[in-house]
Amino acid sequence: MLSIPRSSVLPVDAPAHPAMRKKPSVDAALLGYNAFAERNQPRYARYAQARLAREADVTAAVRATLSLARQRWDWLLLQPSLAADVWAELRRQVGEVVPQDVTEAATLYSSLPVTSADSALLCWRVGLTAGEAAELMGLEQPAVEAGLRVARRAHPHLAKGGAL
């Protein structure tokens, strides 16, 4: 195998002073965050719309969630499930705004474990598959499927295309 020695001379267009060079790891992390936000923002918004009445509240909840994720991105990258941590934050943001009225979504959240309620809302109202919901929430697909079974037993009228 031929080995070509690397030159210690910087390319002509590269800044000579180390402080002027960009850190590739910072750029890569920002790129990763941007891809994550671009992929998930529309689905986060659909979830928030299913739970919140006002569009301004939807926008604020999603924006706050993604802003917090950006601030903590380096820490999130070290966690076992980045998606689960960001999902928990979105659920918290939405939960702080949800009015205490009697809607089908409110019924789900008051009568079911949160994973079951999230699974039912994402699959039955938002229209995600169990696999898509699992990926969004940072869970394994069997956990979402189990959550759906719990929700179906508790609210069979909603599982059959009800007004959720």
**pTM of full prediction above 0.75:** yes
Name the DSSP letter for residue 103.
-
The C-alpha atoms of residue 150 and residue 107 are separated, in whole angstroms, by: 14
CB 96 within 8 A of CB 90: no
Alpha helices in the chain (DSSP H): 24-51, 55-71, 73-77, 82-97, 104-111, 114-120, 130-137, 141-154, 156-159
Per-residue pLDDT band at 155 (split at 50, 70, 90): very high
How far is residue 161's CA from residue 43's CA, in Å, rounded to a whole number? Answer: 20
The CA dihedral of 15, 17, 19, 20, to the nearest 10 degrees, is -20
Task: Name the burial class of residue 122, with classes exposed (0-12), middle (13-18) and buried (19+) by CB atoms within 10 angstroms of its CB.
Answer: buried
Cα separation of 5 and 141, whole Å? 49
Domains delineated in the chain: 24-99 (no CATH), 102-164 (1.10.10)
The predicted structure's pLDDT at residue 79 = 96
Token pair recorded at residue 145: 């499927």
- Pick the residue with more confidence: 5 or 51? 51
Q: State the average pLDDT for the chain.
A: 86
Render pLDDT for 73-98 as a digit per residue (tens, 0 to 9).
999 999 999 999 999 999 999 999 87
User: What is the chain's alpha carbon radius of gyration, rounded to the nearest angstrom?
Assistant: 21
Cα-Cα-Cα-Cα torsion 128, 116, 55, 88, nearest 10 degrees, comes to -100
